[in-house]
Amino acid sequence: MVGKFGLNHSKMLGQRFIFRCPPILLLTLTKRQKNPRFLVMEQDIFFNSSFGIRLDQSGVLRAIVDFMNEKPEHSYAITLGTDSEVVADKRADFVTAIVVHRIGNGGRYFWRHTKTPKRFHTLRDRMIEEVLISLDIAKRFLETSQKMHLPRFDFEIHVDIGENGDTRVMIQELVGMIRAHNFEVKTKPESYAASSVADRHV
């Protein structure tokens, strides 16, 4: 699956990549990132972390690599999702979470608020905005990882929609949007990055 991490070999699945990397390479990458030339970003965005530190995009990627290095024998999943809540005057507060999950052994996450001047008159409009924010952030992080000379990996994007409730009629449309950008996608009950982690901070 996209975003699954082991640490011994790499292969390509269609146009998507499963990233597997020996621990020594990850340690080398972490050291190289101290060079300032790898940290230059345009229109950088910042995330809060589950361990209490505010990080920019490159900082989040370094923290993910460091977390994987702690137990390189495990497999890892990296997921991203956005949730939202209507506030005043039909505007909404959006929260995006990036989760690195050490399979069977916990994880860490990073989150940020996004505010927009748009007004959202329908649930569909707000769900589409959640997907667009997730896609934008996923692409930003892939570009940052390339600038930092990290091996390629992809995010699995989680969407806060499911077969139960009003959002069921949007599943095909929103899943299609994400797959059109070549990302894997999960909906409820598997979309924990959006439905559980991001939802916690809305």
Exposure on the CB side of residue 150, measured as CA atoms within 13 A: 29
Residue 36, number of CB atoms within 10 A of its CB: 7
What pLDDT shows up at residue 43?
Answer: 63
What pLDDT shows up at residue 49?
Answer: 96
Note whether 10 and 21 are within 8 A (CB): yes
Q: How many residues can be counted in the chain?
A: 202
List the chain residues with pLDDT less than 50.
1-42
Query: Peptide bond before 189: cis, by omega within 30 degrees of 0?
Result: yes
Residue-wise DSSP of 32-53: HTTSGGG---SS--EEEETTS-
Query: Which of 104, 80, 93 lies closest to 154, judged by CA?
Result: 80
What pLDDT shows up at residue 26?
Answer: 42
CA–CA distance, 150 with 28 (Å, rounded to integer) = 10
CA–CA distance, 175 with 135 (Å, rounded to integer) = 12
All structural domains of the chain with their residue ranges: 4-34+43-200
Q: Is the dihedral of CA 78, 67, 69, 27 positive or negative?
A: positive
What pLDDT shows up at residue 40?
Answer: 33
Note whether 4 and 75 are within 8 A (CB): yes
pTM above 0.75, yes or no: yes
